[in-house]
Amino acid sequence: GRISQDHVLVSSFGHQAEEIFKQVNQIQIIACGTSYHSGLVAKYWFEDIIGLPCFVEVASEYRYRNPVVLNNTLFVTISQSGETADTLAALQQVKKIKQEKNIATLCICNVPESSLTRESDLIFLTHAGPEIGVASTKAFTTQLVALALLLTAVGRSKGLMTEKRENIIVKGLQKLPGLIQKALEHEDVIKEMAKCFADRDSALFLGRGTMYPIAMEGALKLKEISYIHAEAYPAGELKHGPLALIDEAIPVVTIAPNDDLLEKLKSNLQEVKARGGQMIVFEDEKSNVDSEGNMRVVKATSNVGRITAPITFNIPLQLLSYHVALIKGTDVDQPRNLAKSVTV
C-alpha cells in the first residue's frame, strides 16, 4: 500500500524529500564493502529505468581525492552501522560545498541513532534488525529494497515515472517475499555444492548487468567468511585477461537470469567450459543454461525482473559462502581481522 501512494512513499525519506528530489539532476552514492555493492546495483537501476545519471565510489578512495561534485547532486551514503569512518569522512567533505552547489545528503542506514543519520538531511532506515555477524547479509537485502524505493520516490518527484516503469519497480517489490522464499528452498543443493570449494584456494564469480555487482558481493562474502580468494568479473571482461586463470582447479560461479544479456552470457560460459573450468550456474527457471559436462546448474529463481533479480540471486550466493565456511570450520559470525564497524 505504501509503495502505491505517491506522497506517503516520498515523505518516508523525510519532510523536505519531495522538494529536494525535484531538484536532483544526478545521484552520487558513497559506501564501503557490501554497502558499496548495493550502491552499484542502484547505478544500473537509476540509469536504465529512469535515465538519471548515478555515480558510485568507495568512500575509502573518495575521501582522499578532490572529487568534482556537480550542482544539484543527491549525495547518498549507504551504511549498515552508520559509523564507518571512511563514509562519514566523505560526507563531511561534501558538506563543505553543500550550500554553494545545492547538494542534498541522504543516508540509507540500519542504525537510527548513528553518526551518519545525525549528519544527513534525509534519512531512510533499512529496519534489517540487528546484524549479529560481522559480514552484512540482511543489511544488503534491505539496502537494495531501500534503493528501489528511492528510485521510485525520485522518479515520481521528478515526473519521470511512466506506467511501465512503475510496474517494473512496484510489482517487482510486491513479488519479492515469495521469490526470496523460493530461493531459500535450494539450500540442500547449495550445501552439496559447497563441498567443491572447501579445498580450493580461489574462485571466480561472473555476472552481467546488475548481476556483476551481485557477483562482487558473492566474492566478498566468500573472502570474508571462508577466507578463499575470490574475484568477480563482468562476464564480457573474461576475454580481456581473466580467461588465463581458468583451469580444472578453479570453481566459476555464474548468475544467469533470463534477461536480454542471457545469450551473450551463455557464449561466455562456453569459453570457460572449453577450458575445463568447474562451473556452478545459478539460473532462472527459463534460462536453460546447458548443464552437461563440467556445468552444475541450479534453477534458483523463477521469472525475476530488473528489480527482483539482484535481490533474489544474492540469496544462493550468501548460502554458498555460509556452507563453505561451515565445512572449513571458520567462524561465520566473527571472521578474523574484521570489525563490525570500521571506525578508523
Min dist CB 64 to ligand F1P, Å, is 17
Return the SS3 of 220: helix
Min dist CB 325 to ligand F1P, Å, is 14
Give the C-alpha separation, 206 to 232, whole Å.
6
- Residue among 105 and 258 whose Cβ is closer to ligand F1P: 105
Dihedral class, residue 306 (left if φ above 0, else alpha if ψ from -120 to 50, else beta): alpha
Give me the catalytic one of 182, 191, 266, 340. Answer: 340
Is 340 among the residues known to form the active site?
Answer: yes
- Would you tell me which residues interact with ligand F1P (CB under 6 A)? 32-35, 79-81, 84, 87, 134-136, 338, 340-342
Give the C-alpha separation, 158 to 146, whole Å.
18
Min dist CB 332 to ligand F1P, Å, is 12
Place of cell 556483476: 212
- Residue among 21 and 140 whose Cβ is closer to ligand F1P: 140
- What is the side-by-side order of every strand in the sheet holding 122-125? 54-58, 26-31, 73-79, 104-109, 122-125
Cβ–Cβ contacts within 10 Å for residue 70, how many?
A: 13
Min dist CB 134 to ligand F1P, Å, is 5
Closest CA to 89 of 146, 30, 130, 164: 30
Cβ–Cβ contacts within 10 Å for residue 281, how many?
A: 23
Counting beta carbons within 10 angstroms of the beta carbon of residue 260, is it exposed (0 to 12), middle (13 to 18) or buried (19 or more)?
A: exposed
Cell of 27: 545521484
Give the C-alpha separation, 140 to 176, whole Å.
14
Residue type, 205: F
- Residue among 80 and 254 whose Cβ is closer to ligand F1P: 80
Name the residue number minimizing CB distance to ligand F1P: 33
- Residue among 66 and 337 whose Cβ is closer to ligand F1P: 337
- Residue among 302 and 341 whose Cβ is closer to ligand F1P: 341
Min dist CB 104 to ligand F1P, Å, is 20
Catalytic annotation, residues: 340
